[in-house]
Amino acid sequence: MSWSKLKQNLESFLCPALVGRVEYRSTSYRYSSDRPGNCYLAVDKKNVLNMSDTTTPIRWFQTEQEIKNDPNIEIPVDDEEIEAIRKESKGAIPEERLHVIARSRKISVLAKELLSAQSSLSKSNFTAAATTFLSRPIEESLESQDILLNILALVDRRVGKKRILNMSEKIKLKHPAVQYFYEIRRRTL
């Protein structure tokens, strides 16, 4: 599918409040074999998410330690996870440390997922993700681990107010780019 047709299809699914605010942009370099081009997601005429550049205003992580040490990342831990650690340790760990250990384990898994997801962003990946998004049910895109599928689903008109409000806890576990677009969408409700 050509870029202009893909862009037209994606923009037709934007929620009414974001039409004109969220744009999909692409650049290509016809005569340069070493520069495949870039894709951008723009909000209010500003390039917010550049698919191949780490200088965007959204925080990109370089290492797992950066994610673990970021005070802005909230990791909810439920009782089941704490109970699993309690059983694993056979009660040898003090109660106040169980929450810390559960959070640490969960953030390690999250860090690996975030680094994996952000390392795959490129123009060709955007085109593939957008094509996948257009051919799948919206629920699959919302539940996906793919940053682009999450973003495309969040700005989609098929995702209603109730669903947006109910997913606030899940969004805390997503990449900052997904959180950014979630906040934009939530403010339009």
Residue-range domain boundaries for the chain: 64-117
Q: Higher confidence at residue 8 or residue 68?
A: 8
75-91: burial string, b at 16+ Cβ within 10 Å, e else:
eebeeebbeebbeeeee
User: What is the 3-state secondary structure of 62-75?
Assistant: CCHHHHHHCCCCCC
Residue 23: phi and psi, rounded to 5, are -130, 150
Alpha helices in the chain (DSSP H): 3-12, 64-69, 79-89, 95-119, 123-135, 138-143, 147-154, 161-166, 168-171, 176-187
Question: Residue 96: what pLDDT?
Answer: 84
Q: Residue 120: what pLDDT? A: 61
Mean pLDDT of the chain: 84
Grade residue 37 by pLDDT with cuts at 50, 70 and 90.
low
Q: Let me know: does 12 contact 157? Beta carbons within 8 Å.
A: no
pLDDT of residue 64: 77
Least confident of 31-35, 104-108, 163-167: 31-35
Q: How confident is the model at residue 35 (pLDDT cuts 50, 70, 90)?
A: low
Q: Is 0.85 topped by the overall pTM?
A: no
Taking residues 83-96, report their average pLDDT.
87
174 vs 117: CA distance, rounded Å = 10
Distance CA 45, CA 21 (A): 7
- The CA distances from residue 101 to 81, 82, 113, in Å, are 10, 8, 19
pLDDT of 73 reads 77
